[in-house]
Chain A
Amino acid sequence: MAEARPKRDFTDLAPWIYTITLFALWEAASRGLSLPVYILPAPSVVAQSIVDYWPAIWKNSLQTLYTTLVGFALAVAGGLALGLLVGWSRFIYKGLYPLMIGFNAVPKVAVVPILVIWFGIGTVPAILTAFLIAFFPIVVNVATGLATIEPEMEDVLRALGAKKLDIMLKVGIPRSMPYFFGSLKIAITLAFVGSVISETVAANSGLGHMMLAAQSQFNVPLVFAGLVMLAIEGIVMYALMAWLEMRMTGWAHRSGMNRQ
């Protein structure tokens, strides 16, 4: 869409303006109030810490990104499959619904000890925690997309002799795709939550582990450095998912399907 822009629009710059302002205020506050570095280190101190500890930070960032992405990939595959299954039949939906609610209600941090008993400390529990926490929104969204097919559309097809599979393939699955891609943004964010929780509780590497170790040594700038790296990874992955959503199901935005 080529819109005529008569004068320079600052809206595109707004995210940068706000971010820079936030860091500037933070810097000013910690200097002006001369807060001790173990309470709130200034951004400049945190940046210095990132430089100083870069090899460790880089290694642990990659580890966290790896466990998160593997868990996320499993959640996408599993969530899509279960979502389609749940949306397919009311019987499966009715039967699984309470189970899924109960499962989702359990705080995932409580599951980590069990995962450690089964798989030991390390990468596997982190991947599985990320998977468990990211899985649910995908299932719910895919199932919702399937369950909200307009009855009239179904009638048009059924009257032509369409079988359940036809309706799913022609209407249900394409229709649930915007819901699916929309849920990826939430799922990737949650996957980070899952992997970091698990790394904090039971791991020898990853940003969660690094931050816990830094905290026990009162290395507060390094704790914040870990936070910043998590934020960066989270934003990048979120942006990637948002881009993917736009690419794959732009029609849903333009047609206003999700705005109803």
Chain B
Amino acid sequence: MTNPSAVPMVGIENVDMRYGGAEGTLAVSGLTMAVKKGEFAAVVGPSGCGKSTLMKLVTGLYIPQTGTVSVAGERVTEPVSIVGMAFQNPTMLPWRTTLDNILLPLEIVEKHRGRIRTHRKEYAEKAEHLLETVGLKGFGSKYPWQLSGGMQQRASLCRALIHEPDLLMLDEPFGALDAFTREELWCVIRDLHFSTDVTVVLVTHDLREAVFLADRIFVMSARPGKIITEREVHFPRPRDLEIMFEAEFTDVVHDLRGHIATARAQQAEAV
């Protein structure tokens, strides 16, 4: 066994993933990447390049045909419950209150499901606390359809965090929000990551979002997706929203934009 701190939180090696049998869509091919423990990683790339596929591979929802995926040093062969997930669509259950929605993972995850009945109060307090950190204090008793889109998205973040996952996987969670709410939630995620040792993988279309939040950015090629560039972002933490107006920040964004433009051009040629 090597030095445990050298074991990446997420390790993807030479992975091919094809949907729907031998003739199906090759979504990612030769995908290799590693995310360190505690790191904030962002994945950007052209639409349809396999970013969501990557998320599903890491969480064990799909098992690749070739190559290996590992989380915390363990090879992924089935869903790994140390992961929390949030999507673009908040997918709250309309018949449960927001609080009960947030507690849902605890009714599933092996470690908690035996305790949730007897220790409900303690868990509810934890959920209330999470709601407070995302600015939804007192909204636990409301139903999701009584919340705005942005509020639902905050609640879905709480749901992803309630079982204290070591790895948080976010698939364009801010995509459908207005610019102000989005910036607010960037700060929520930033603080969350800063105050805990959770590892975050964020898929996004928004390059500024990636540069503002991430320590490491992976740029994917067009489908079949693989990593074409990986770059570290060294702005000191905690970062302020103001850094987005600095020249250095804009340079990084421009550089990434260039890579994605190239990837899209290659795709256009290939077609």
Contacts and interface: CB of A to CB of B under 8 A. Distances in A.
A52 interface: no
B94 A158 contact: no
Given A166-B108, A254-B145, A255-B94, A160 B81 contact: yes
Contacts of A62: none
Interface string A126-163: 00000000000000000000000010110111111110
B107 interface: yes
B180 interface: no
Contact of B94 (A156, A160, A170, A251): A251
B109 interface: yes
Contacts of B60: 159
A120 interface: no
A161 B89 contact: no
Contacts, number: 71
A155 B93 contact: no
A158 B145 contact: no
Contacts of A159: 59-61, 79-81, 83, 85
A161 B108 contact: yes
B66 interface: no
B110 interface: yes
B140 to A, nearest CB: 16
Contacts of A153: 91, 93
Where chain A touches its partner, the secondary structure class is helix
A257 interface: yes
Interface string B133-146: 00000000001110
Contacts of B61: 155, 158-159
Contacts of B109: 160-161
A52 B159 CA distance: 67
Contacts of B59: 155, 159
A252 interface: yes
Nearest to A167: B108
Contact of B89 (A150, A177, A249): A150
B193 interface: no
B93 A152 contact: no
Contact of B108 (A150, A170, A252): A170
Interface in B168-227: none
A252 B60 CA distance: 32
Interface in A153-207: 153, 155-162, 166, 170-171, 174-175, 177
16 contacts: A150-B89, A152-B91, A155-B56, A155-B85, A156-B159, A157-B104, A158-B61, A158-B79, A159-B60, A159-B61, A160-B79, A161-B79, A161-B80, A166-B108, A175-B95, A251-B145
